Amino acid sequence: MYALRVKVSRNSGQFRRYKVDLPQQEGKFQVLYEKTCEILGKNNILLDYEDDEGDMVRLTSDVELDEALRVINSYGDGSNPLLRLGIKDKVTDSNALLNKCKSEPDTVKKDATSMQSSVSPTHEGIRCYWCSTMPIAGARFKCLVCENYDLCEKCCCAGHHDQHAMMRIADPEKTKIR
Ligand SMILES: [Zn+2]
Ligand SMILES: [Zn+2]
């Protein structure tokens, strides 16, 4: 065991200083991590330390911590080294949350769309020749003789084009035709 002095800067600009008793062998990173979580009162953090070139380097393992200790021990006369840590919140959790938030409206939208289409399909870009409703909702009736002659169900049933045979298209998704 030996005591490591740690100084943590938080995003808020606040600093905390504490000592951690590190085991000489394995598990020192875990000890440092847990102590830092305890001091800051939070979980899921990322530890970065300031290396000899002033860069923030991520710490995730004993090996990296050993390297960090080697670096800080080379400062000054090597006695009483201070490990300067920067803390970041792990983004994995908030990303997952973000994705969840993002996907929810899509799910709702998709459900609403599929519900709508099962109740009343719309024929995008198709206008009823008689009443000019566009797009035609519900069944579309396409004249088999005239080019580009469509009626909505109401107008077809009213007999507005009964001189020609009409093809009934219930759902444009199932009958792909222009
Ligand atoms: Zn119509
Ligand atoms: Zn016709």
Domains of the chain: 2-90 (3.10.20.90), 122-169 (3.30.60)
The owner of tokens 């800080």 is 72
CA 173/CA 6 separation, integer angstroms: 65
The pLDDT value given to residue 172:
86
| 114: confidence class by pLDDT, cuts 50, 70, 90 | very low
Q: Are 86 and 36 in contact (CB under 8 A)?
A: no
Strand spans (E) along 116-159 = 122-123, 136-137, 140-143, 150-152
Question: What's the gap in Å between 176 CA and the centre of ligand 2?
Answer: 20
Mean pLDDT for 128-137 is 94
The pLDDT value given to residue 13:
74
Instruction: Record the pTM.
Output: 0.49
Question: What's the gap in Å between 129 CA and the centre of ligand 2?
Answer: 10
Paired residues of 86 in beta bridges:
9, 48
Looking at the CA of 162, name the nearest ligand: 2
* pLDDT tens digit sequence for 19-70: 999 888 889 999 999 999 998 888 888 999 988 888 889 999 999 999 998 8
Question: What's the gap in Å between 119 CA and the centre of ligand 1?
Answer: 18
CA 125/CA 135 separation, integer angstroms: 6
Paired residues of 122 in beta bridges:
137
The pLDDT value given to residue 90:
80
